[in-house]
């Protein structure tokens, strides 16, 4: 069906061509101020199409459903968005709630409108494991659609605003749930994009729906207090206006009303009474140039004295959402504080419309660091988070971290300003510079002095990252990083590192198990491999080795399955070298196999450098030189125990999970071990023992002191040693201390 036929059918359905009722006329009147007749005609056509698609559908309030998309379109028209965005707003529910498809929309209104509508559409009803997962999937889709076209989120926000305005028809519990979602997700997005008008309305509507009693009480208190403020507000405004006139500065002074949700947040977070919060007078001064902003600042500081430490220059260093203004707090009449914002008309438009100002006031190329370029940078970061996040719940967790723009400003060694969330660490800074810098950072200098990677950054600091080729992220970083980008990239790197380590270990375990059948991996043909993978429901040979290495699949059972069919499917080494499936994996993870090396029937050698897939039991703290046993644990790989550990005896009822292991001859590294030192109570005894440990090159991880009686105490140390020989030297050295009565190694 072509466009003309659709329009004809719509005329039969709807008595009037174009906007047919009072709401439609209001929309048309708004559109006529900034759109051409041909563009309004296109919007008319979208309305006719949407009205037909939603025929017979009613909202819970009982009104025709088409009024909802029209209201959303009207909200965006008041912001003067382009005609395609208005069309998408009118059509935003047709794919989800009617039989109309994206292809039909593209045929009738073009690909751009169809993509916008598809981006706004909610998830279809898919069965998720939990409600949290469903919400996270929906949020993830919305954010990624926003990356493709920022107008998607503008339509979505308008849709949410009208839904919040009409929330009264919903059951109470559903109202509260939607209000909480609005305050947790949509308000921060509007804030991050700098759309102040949307943010404020969503906050007020969400507050009223989530806490109706608190909203009502606070609204009544504001209404009562407002009458007493008029005279003071007028006097302050007049005095500032008169001084601006005397200095030949053109500007308008506007008193700002405190919003209820803002008042509520300050009362709750700072434990203040209503009078403490409301007795603050707020003004905005709009001038015609940046130079006039700073001159006006001097004027108001002459009229009323400034409060020290309360001046913020968001013109020189804009907020992350592009907001620019000068902020100051003054000592007003009767000692009442006065909050003043000073900005230009352009800054005021951006403060109210945020990223939407891009479509309202196009004025050539935007300077670097402007509101739109900052938003595009944030959106690019969203794409990186999406690629690295493990699942939708992790994605939403990381994005929500970055949505709250409570920031600090730090400098690179070259003097460039970097904007970071408050509480950020040097590791967060390194990842903000570049992912590779974060992955390889080993140290940091803050203001030219070495500092811990976990240190919090503060305004004005200069941060220099020291990186080393070959370095890799430390899992402990996840305990202190705060940005989503850092957290996601660390997890992504460690996950892939663990996979590689698991594949290498899995190969060694499978080789060891196959040795029981006098077989080796490279003798297994590609044909038999394919059959085995299908039987085990594993996609690739690498995945099979990874499962074995992580302990999710027993190497002995896999080897037995291979041994059962070995007679007819074995390949010679030369045939394997000509193959691909096994050879590629063996070449990557077993560099020596093509030279004819074979694993022998001997215990698995533990090098101490296997990484995250070989763990050392905390119950017995094995160190090189100890007789050891390996226990295969699902998801963790191999856990190494001392042979004499009581857990070895406890786990003997699962012999298939135990494997023979031994230390390699030249193991390097440090291994934690626990020792107990019985000492005579004497001042400085702890320092004496700690100094002796340090002399022997043993790093102390933790100390625990246990008083036995008034004369003797027991000190427990966890220290890092190289092997049993190193430990023996340490213990001999400590025994020589006069106050030491006994020293023992703690096991189990």
CA distance 357 to 359: 5
CA distance 150 to 193: 10
CATH class of domain segment(s) 226-360:
alpha beta
Beta strands 637-642 and 628-633 are: antiparallel
pLDDT classification of 357: cutoffs 50, 70, 90: low
Q: What is the DSSP letter of 670?
A: -
Handedness of CA 714, 718, 720, 722 (dihedral sign): positive
96 is a catalytic site residue:
yes
- What number does CATH give the domain 1-121? 1.10.3210.10
Report in angstroms the alpha-carbon separations of 689 from 686, 692, 695: 5, 5, 10
Which of 236-240, 347-351, 522-526 shows the highest mean pLDDT? 236-240
DSSP characters over 258-297: PPHHHHHHHHHHTT--HHHHHS-EEEEEEESSHHHHHHHH
Burial 564-592 (b: 16+ CB within 10 A, else e): eebeebbbeeeebeebebbbebbeebbee
Domain boundaries in the chain?
1-121, 124-210+370-401, 226-360, 409-482, 491-602, 611-663, 671-745
pLDDT of 621 higher than 70 = yes
Helical (H) or strand (E) element with 138: helix 131-148
* Tens-place pLDDT, residues 206-231: 999 999 999 998 888 887 777 667 77
pLDDT of 128 higher than 50 = no
97 is a catalytic site residue:
yes
* Tens-place pLDDT, residues 575-584: 444 444 444 4
CA distance 556 to 278: 73
Direct distance between the N- and C-terminal alpha carbons of the chain, in angstroms, rounded to an integer:
79
Q: Which CATH superfamily is domain 671-745 in?
A: ACT domain (3.30.70.260)
* Tens-place pLDDT, residues 510-546: 777 777 666 766 666 666 677 777 777 788 877 888 7
Helical (H) or strand (E) element with 633: strand 628-633
Spot the catalytic one: 26, 78, 82, 96.
96
CA distance 428 to 14: 58
Report in angstroms the alpha-carbon separations of 192 from 199, 219, 368: 10, 27, 18
Q: Is 226-360 in the same CATH topology as 1-121?
A: no
Give the pLDDT score at 430: 93
Name the β-bridge partners of 327.
312, 341
The CATH number of domain 409-482, selected from 3.40.50.80, 3.10.200.10, 3.40.50.720, 3.10.20.30: 3.10.20.30
Give the pLDDT score at 462: 86
Tell me what percent of the residues of the chain surpass a pLDDT of 70: 75
pTM: 0.52
Spot the catalytic one: 26, 97, 149, 526.
97
Q: Are 128 and 139 in contact (CB under 8 A)?
A: no
CA distance 434 to 218: 47
- Other CB atoms within a 10 A radius of the CB of residue 113 amount to 22
């Amino acid at each position: 069906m072509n466009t003309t036929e659709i329009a004809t059918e719509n005329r039969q359905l709807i008595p009037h061509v174009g906007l047919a009722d009072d709401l439609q006329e209001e929309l048309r009147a708004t559109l006529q101020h900034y759109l051409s007749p041909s563009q309004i005609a296109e919007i008319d056509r979208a309305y006719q199409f949407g009205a037909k698609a939603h025929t017979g559908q009613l909202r819970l309030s009982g009104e025709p459903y088409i009024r909802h998309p029209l209201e959303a379109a009207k909200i965006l028209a008041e912001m003067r968005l382009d005609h395609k965005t208005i069309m998408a707003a009118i059509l935003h529910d047709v794919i989800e709630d009617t039989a109309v498809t994206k292809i039909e929309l593209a045929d009738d209104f073009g690909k751009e409108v169809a993509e916008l509508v598809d981006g706004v559409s909610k998830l279809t009803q898919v069965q998720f494991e939990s409600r949290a997962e469903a919400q996270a999937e929906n949020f993830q889709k919305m954010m990624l659609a926003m990356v493709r076209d920022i107008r998607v989120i503008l339509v979505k926000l308008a849709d949410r605003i009208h839904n919040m305005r009409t929330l009264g028809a919903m059951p109470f519990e559903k109202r509260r749930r939607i209000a909480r979602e609005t305050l947790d997700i949509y308000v921060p997005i509007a804030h991050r994009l700098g759309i102040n008008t949307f943010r404020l309305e969503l906050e007020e509507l969400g507050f009223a729906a989530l806490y109706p009693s608190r909203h009502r009480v606070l609204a009544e208190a504001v209404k009562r207090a407002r009458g007493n403020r008029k005279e003071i507000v007028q006097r302050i405004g007049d005095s500032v206006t008169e001084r601006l006139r005397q200095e030949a500065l053109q500007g308008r002074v506007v008193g700002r009303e405190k919003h209820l949700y803002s008042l509520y947040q300050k009362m709750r977070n700072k434990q203040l009474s209503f009078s403490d919060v409301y007795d603050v007078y707020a003004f905005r001064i709009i001038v015609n140039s940046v130079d006039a902003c700073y001159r006006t600042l001097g004027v108001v500081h002459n009229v009323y004295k400034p409060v020290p430490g309360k001046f913020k220059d968001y013109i020189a260093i804009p907020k992350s959402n592009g907001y620019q203004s000068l902020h100051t707090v003054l000592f007003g009449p009767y000692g009442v504080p006065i909050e003043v914002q000073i900005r230009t008309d352009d800054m005021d438009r951006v403060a109210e419309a945020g990223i939407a100002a891009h479509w309202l006031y196009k004025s050539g190329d935007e300077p670097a660091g402007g509101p739109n370029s900052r938003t595009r940078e944030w959106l690019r970061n969203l794409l990186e988070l999406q690629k690295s996040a493990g699942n939708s719940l992790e994605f939403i967790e990381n994005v929500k971290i970055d949505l709250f723009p409570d920031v600090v400003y730090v400098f690179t060694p070259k003097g460039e300003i970097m904007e970071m969330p408050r509480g950020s660490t040097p590791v967060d800074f390194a990842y903000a510079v570049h992912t590779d810098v974060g992955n390889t950072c080993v140290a940091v200098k803050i203001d030219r002095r070495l500092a811990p990677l976990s240190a919090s950054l503060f305004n004005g600091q200069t941060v220099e990252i020291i990186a080393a080729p070959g370095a890799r992220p430390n899992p402990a970083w996840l305990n202190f990083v705060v940005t989503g980008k850092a957290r996601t990239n660390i997890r992504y790197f460690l996950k892939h590192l663990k996979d590689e380590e698991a594949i290498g270990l899995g190969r060694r375990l499978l080789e060891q198990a196959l040795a029981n059948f006098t077989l080796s991996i490279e003798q297994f043909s590609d044909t038999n491999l394919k059959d085995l993978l299908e039987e085990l429901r594993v996609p690739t040979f690498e995945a099979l080795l990874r499962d074995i290495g992580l302990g999710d699949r027993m190497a002995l059972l896999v080897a037995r399955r291979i041994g059962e069919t070995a007679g007819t499917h074995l390949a010679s080494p030369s045939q394997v070298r000509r193959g691909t499936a096994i050879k590629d994996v063996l070449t990557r993870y077993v560099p020596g196999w093509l030279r004819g090396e074979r694993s022998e029937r001997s215990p698995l050698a533990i090098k101490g450098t296997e990484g995250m897939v070989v763990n050392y039991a905390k119950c017995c703290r094995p160190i090189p030189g100890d007789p050891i046993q390996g226990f295969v644990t699902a998801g963790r790989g191999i856990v190494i125990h001392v042979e004499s550990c009581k857990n070895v005896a406890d786990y003997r009822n699962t012999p298939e999970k135990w494997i023979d292991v031994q230390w390699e001859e030249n193991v390097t590294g440090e291994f934690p071990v626990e020792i107990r030192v019985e000492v005579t109570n004497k001042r400085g005894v702890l320092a004496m023992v700690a100094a002796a440990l340090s002399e022997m090159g043993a790093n102390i991880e933790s100390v625990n002191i246990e008083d036995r009686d008034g004369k003797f105490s027991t000190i427990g140390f966890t220290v890092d040693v190289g092997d049993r020989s190193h430990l023996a030297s340490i213990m001999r050295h400590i025994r020589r201390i006069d106050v030491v009565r006994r020293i023992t190694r703690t096991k189990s």
